[in-house]
Amino acid sequence: MSDLFDDYGPATARTRAYDEMFDAGQTVRAAYRQVEDVLGGLTLHDVSARADSMARTFLDRGVTFDYAGEERPFPLDIVPRVIPAAEWDVLERGVAQRVQTLEAFLDDVYDTMAVVADGVVPRSLITSSSHFHRCVAGFRPPGGVRVHVSGIDVVRDDAGNFRVLEDNVRVPSGVSYVIENRRAMAKGLPEAFNQQDIRSVDEYPRRLLQALRKTAPSSVADPTVVVLTPGVFNSAYFEHTLLAGLMGVELVEGRDLVCRANRVYMRTTAGEQRVDVIYRRVDDAFIDPLQFRSDSLLGCPGLVNAARAGNVTIANAIGNGVADDKLIYSYLPDLIRYYRGEEPIIPNVDTFRLGEDAAREEVLDRLDELVVKPVDGSGGKGIVIGPAATREELDALRTRILADPRGWIAQPVLQLSTVPTMAGDRFGPRHVDLRPFAVNDGDDVWVLPGGLTRVALTEGSLIVNSSQGGGSKDTWVVGDGPAPAITHEPAARPARERVSVWPIESNARDQDEAQQQQ
């Protein structure tokens, strides 16, 4: 092994976390042996040169993000995150189970609310969510799908067990990094990449387009699909352009669309063309100024009425954010049993609901031991990690909790698993999470093999979000083998010519995806 790993053993002992590459005896795990063989022959100069080459590639392709007002190439570490096929099989089924449950929950919440009548979830929890929108209640979207795309954040705890950290079914972002990371790693570490069977991520655009077309209004034989972006100043604009290009559909802004007689059209150089499916990357609050923020220039007036009339599919559906609420997250194990008749394949992280008196009292006594999160927060914003907080920060948090108990949850501090990451002139352990992306076409949930591994580049940090200084790793699903058995049987699922857009200079600002970089 390269001397770049000389200090790695003592460093992992300090983290007290499960390491993805090395076991407790510092023996390389089987899935990482090819990676070990390659890294063992590299010098610091070799690694630095390859890392610089990958960063230049990202900069040239526009794979950047806005960090503190500066446009930077998205950090990609040279050591991949490797997941054996048998472990991935469990993750894949667990993510699909969760997406199907969230789909059933949203369909219920905006219809009969049977989940409330049956005492599973309190009505006040749903109706008090800032993302519960009554303007979309009482109708089913065309195609019957609300969660077309989801990103389910998963972590591995210090015992090596996978747990779901949170759900993202509004406008989940990051899949472009999965696609671009794979392209870069095929060149950055080709010796390891070419010597093993790594599941491809190239199928994602085709799967997404297939799902979008399948859930178009039923009266349309050949649906027109567009990607709706806030514009070039948006932090995820690269992702919007990449997906539109790979799917072969138009990328539009709100000003390119017009609603007339509850139908949606896009302005093109050949005249107006009807739009049947909108894959929107604009948050609910900005998508329709007639229903939400009247000052928004990012959406199009009348989209909600067109959707309610069944004339356009909006993916993901408006109002999905109620399922992203971290209080709803705490009920997901019960919801899986209620809607699916199954036990959760991937458990939640233990969670305190601070609206409950006993839980709130215990948390207030242990603020310096726990992680406290706002229920509608994203991108790592608003999170307070008790052991790392100052006394002043904890006192201010206590005041905020007492003023709005419903707005917070608390969880134990998890020592997220670690992966070797280049840190100066050595590899050091850095904490990671995983965001598998799933595509739902109404009949099947397909999970992209691997997903996005985000890494906290600061030693000891547990915040992996790019907006907070995190980076990423390519995620390899490798090898074959028997999948671990699941002891329950799945329950039956409940019955339920390209033209150019008129060129208009964009002035849209990044108002929504600061929230969407979840």
Q: How far apart are CA 323 and CA 170, in angstroms?
A: 8
Which positions ≥6 away from 177 have C-beta within 8 Å? 63, 74, 76, 239, 452, 472
Q: How far apart are CA 197 and CA 294, in angstroms?
A: 52
Task: Give per-residue pLDDT as tens, 116-174.
Answer: 999 999 999 999 999 999 999 998 998 899 999 999 999 999 999 999 999 999 999 99
Global pTM?
0.89
Q: What percent of the chain has pLDDT over 90?
A: 75
Phi and psi at 110, nearest 5°, equal: -95, 15
Residue 84 has pLDDT above 50, yes or no: yes
Q: How far apart are CA 339 and CA 232, in angstroms?
A: 41
Give mean pLDDT, residues 290-302.
96
Specify the length of the chain in residues: 518
Count the Cβ atoms, other than its own, within 10 Å of residue 444: 12
pLDDT at 490: 39
User: What is the chain's mean pLDDT, rounded?
Assistant: 89
CB 463 within 8 A of CB 70: no
Give mean pLDDT, residues 49-56.
90
pLDDT at 377: 72
Q: How far apart are CA 315 and CA 59, in angstroms?
A: 30
Say which range, 69-73, 299-303, 342-346, has the weakest mean pLDDT.
Answer: 69-73
Q: Is 252 helix (H, G, I), strand (E, B) or coil?
A: strand
Cα torsion through 196, 197, 198, 203, rounded to 10: 150
Task: Give per-residue pLDDT as tens, 198-228.
Answer: 999 999 999 999 999 999 998 789 999 999 9
CB 204 within 8 A of CB 437: yes
CATH class label, 352-412 = alpha beta
Q: Where are the domains of the chain?
A: 84-179+196-344+486-516, 352-412
Which positions ≥6 away from 126 have C-beta within 8 Å? 109, 113, 116, 132, 322, 328
CB 419 within 8 A of CB 471: no
- Read off the pLDDT band of 315 (50, 70, 90): very high
Q: How far apart are CA 110 and CA 118, in angstroms?
A: 16
